[in-house]
A and B are shown apart, each in its own frame.
Chain A
């Protein structure tokens, strides 16, 4: 009994922090439409700064607290809102999600430049001697840290209640949370409300970050990102709209986690794998089973007739000229690169070429799921991992040829993809992405650890194949050719699907889901197909990587974080076209090999004020590439695609000018130019009479 009670108290202290984070998530979502995936990263910022000031510099608690929570955290919120999300107010949900995803990837990396790459041990709470426990009722032990956390949360809740009940700003925020669009009609300045809520929420994140620190042994970004998942579940329980439910949900999940942790049987592999994965399992179950989320599909927009339809993108159409130009250019560049790699390059460049080819295959799965189906899936790395592990298992355990194994593995990935899609697609939009996120984390933490999946401690081997007299084990060049062939096949298949029925149905669904349903398109079926197809493609890519490395290295290659980076990269460079995927993959490796290996070491030698700079190349690559995602909202076709289109338009204009000077009137020229097309006027809701 005492044990249970102390578990509940500890659970409440975790739960308080979750509750703070959940409230912040709901508040930003409702006031600015952004589901802030980077919320955990924001908490990490304050946690790290507090640690640095308090532990490394031994500053007094109030000073460290003041700087980390009351100055830096709100400032960060202000900067994010004013500098970034304000410009995204009318952007699509995907654009907002991608931006917050990029922040989730970039913020910890930026901070690590200064804070150091490794987790820092020896955290301290916000009260002196936090480890000291009291035992007021017999054997129930309560530490000072837990007490402080619970008390602070209580204070914050009281303060929030007062704010929301009695202050004008709080009332406005609440009104916006209830119905953003009605409030706007009532003349409330939504921009101001959004900024205020970003500042407030960022403060909450900072506070949570500092409070969480002593609960972990070390300050590390992974702890924060994965624990914020529980907060996301709490926010999802509240279907992202009710603050009190989010609060209660956070508390409840904290306590539940502790109780389960205590009473789950120990010993079995299953139990020891499930324990750390409870947050992800909870999120997945909440998303799939929460009835509140399921009704979301119904048309529930009271002002649907009032709003003008969103402006159409001039960029959704790709001209034939652009396609041909890129094709020719691509073939020429490809041939040149191939010539160089085969006859002149060092082994390093061969390695880069092989990896870029394999990554291109995986990226094509993102082209299918995001470019064609318009969904953001955060578990493509997991599907690649499934493909890789299955190939290795089949090859090692059943002595199967790896190429046959690869096909079976792809089919398995497709099956799992379809099974995941069936429940997840009922959710749609942001919740779909969250479900895939939960699935990726779950797979990383539970499934991948089983012997029969990831191979346990030692990854399973996957030998390179031998076809006829070609031994791919001996020659990397031969293997590169094999990879290129596979890439070609996959790319052609993707093109075929895109121009076929599935592709057209998905186009229609992206254009207007309601209209697509009104002519009889089965949205769920088309999307499940696309999910399965994307999973299969990712599976093939994962299998190739596994064969190349001769073992299924789940950990660095296929963990959820890779999946996040990949999505951000492909989406910001161009997810609509097949070349987009190839360019993104090639770009990533060339960028790492050329710029980072040559420029950064110089920078690190000559301008290194940072005092803990660990491994800058990787970090910088991630930072720079993820920052590229901020262009997504402006150029949803992808930044490369956008620039290609612009240059082609410039050439077209030049040609037009030439030909009109020559006397010939070029009629209807410049249809490529977005500015010359006549936009469809907004359909007014009112009567025409």
Chain B
């Protein structure tokens, strides 16, 4: 398994607290990896560090054989890192289709001001076709042209995933995709994710509190507690580990 993403002793400090303390983690090509830990463990912070939304206080991140130091967020995205957000971040006023079309335009890089000025900036037919394909893949056709404000949180999470996938990332970072969803919606989402991932073969780093969700998707798990990695290994090993059960799962299983 070739290493796609490799984080070496990533450290991040906020005034007073060390949110991440020398965290090392790797994800292989096409691999689905979990990152779990109690609230405030530093999972979201880790994602922000990977994407360059936060500056590292120590350590390094390599993606696809390239050191990411100094690479701005939007370039990291173009290198092939997609993500979704724990606190949902959609483009207000746009429909799901618009979300996908914008992402598609970024991917193919065909936009230019002079084209806009000559009325050549509208979505082309192949762009529309690709957006349609994604809508169908995620079962979003009924909501395709409604403004995003009028859709439920579950649909919103799917749109976020679709938007990330439109850029054809090699790695998708999912931050608590099931948070705020009910049992049924979560099951649907799990199913969708599994299908899409099999079909496209991208790697996933999944942050999730829902143990069932994690178990059903993930091959390998890293456990974060107070900014330090306390365990890692296959799903079965980690969930059997007593330290993990105590730190994190104790009262849940």
Contacts and interface: CB of A to CB of B under 8 A. Distances in A.
Given A515-B91, A683-B153, A501 B85 contact: no
B116 A512 contact: no
Contact of B149 (A508, A512, A680): A680
A500 B111 contact: yes
B220 interface: no
A654 interface: no
B139 interface: no
Interface string A500-524: 1111110110111011111111110
B86 interface: yes
A520 B39 contact: no
B164 to A, nearest CB: 7
B170 interface: no
B218 interface: no
Contacts, number: 190
A517 B176 CA distance: 20
A677 B116 contact: no
A32 to B, nearest CB: 24
Interface stretch (B2-10, B119-127, B226-234, B236-244): B119-127
A519 B103 contact: yes
B39 A687 contact: yes
Nearest to A495: B119
A296 B51 CA distance: 17
Contacts of B18: none
A500 to B, nearest CB: 2
Interface stretch (A45-53, A144-152, A307-315): A307-315
Interface residues of A toward B: which range? 35 or more
Contacts of B120: 500
A193 B102 CA distance: 44
Interface in A474-515: 493, 496-497, 499-505, 507-508, 510-512, 514-515
Interface in B138-165: 146-153, 156, 160, 163-164
B65 interface: no
A304 interface: yes
A683 B86 CA distance: 8
Interface stretch (B22-30, B76-84, B195-203): B76-84
A685 B89 CA distance: 13
A687 B122 CA distance: 40
Given A680-B156, A689-B252, A299 B94 contact: no
A313 B94 CA distance: 11
Nearest to A512: B89
A305 B90 CA distance: 15
A297 B10 CA distance: 21
B116 A496 contact: yes
Contact of B53 (A298, A302, A508): A298
A520 B252 contact: no
A268 interface: no
Contacts of A518: 51, 73, 77, 82-83, 85, 89, 164
B205 to A, nearest CB: 14
B116 A500 contact: yes
A678 interface: yes
A680 B87 contact: no
Contacts of B166: 519
Most buried by A among B87, B110, B119, B179: B87
B87 A305 contact: yes
A687 B121 contact: no
Contact of A497 (B14, B105, B121): B121
A680 B150 CA distance: 6
A316 interface: yes
B55 interface: yes
A500 B180 contact: no
Given A497-B116, A519-B167, A511 B93 contact: yes
A232 B180 CA distance: 43
Contacts of B86: 305, 683, 685
Contacts of A497: 113, 116-117, 121
A312 B121 CA distance: 27
A511 B113 CA distance: 21
A266 interface: no
A520 B78 contact: yes
A515 B119 contact: no
Given A514-B53, A683-B86, A522 B74 contact: yes
A523 B85 CA distance: 19
A178 B161 CA distance: 37
A521 B92 contact: no
A517 B77 contact: yes
Contact of A529 (B75, B77, B113, B121): B113
B137 interface: no
Given A496-B121, A502-B121, A683 B73 contact: no
A60 B205 CA distance: 75
B122 to A, nearest CB: 6
A679 interface: yes
A607 interface: no
Most buried by A among B90, B112, B210: B90
B217 interface: no
A503 B83 CA distance: 23
A684 interface: yes
B149 A677 contact: yes
17 contacts: A302-B14, A501-B115, A501-B121, A508-B94, A511-B93, A514-B85, A515-B85, A516-B91, A518-B89, A520-B74, A520-B77, A520-B78, A679-B150, A680-B90, A688-B180, A688-B181, A689-B210
A-B pairs with lowest CB-CB distance, top 8: A500-B121, A501-B111, A511-B91, A500-B116, A316-B93, A687-B209, A520-B77, A515-B89
Given A519-B166, A529-B113, 12 more contacts: A305-B86, A317-B93, A502-B121, A511-B92, A515-B160, A518-B51, A518-B83, A678-B150, A680-B90, A680-B152, A684-B180, A687-B39
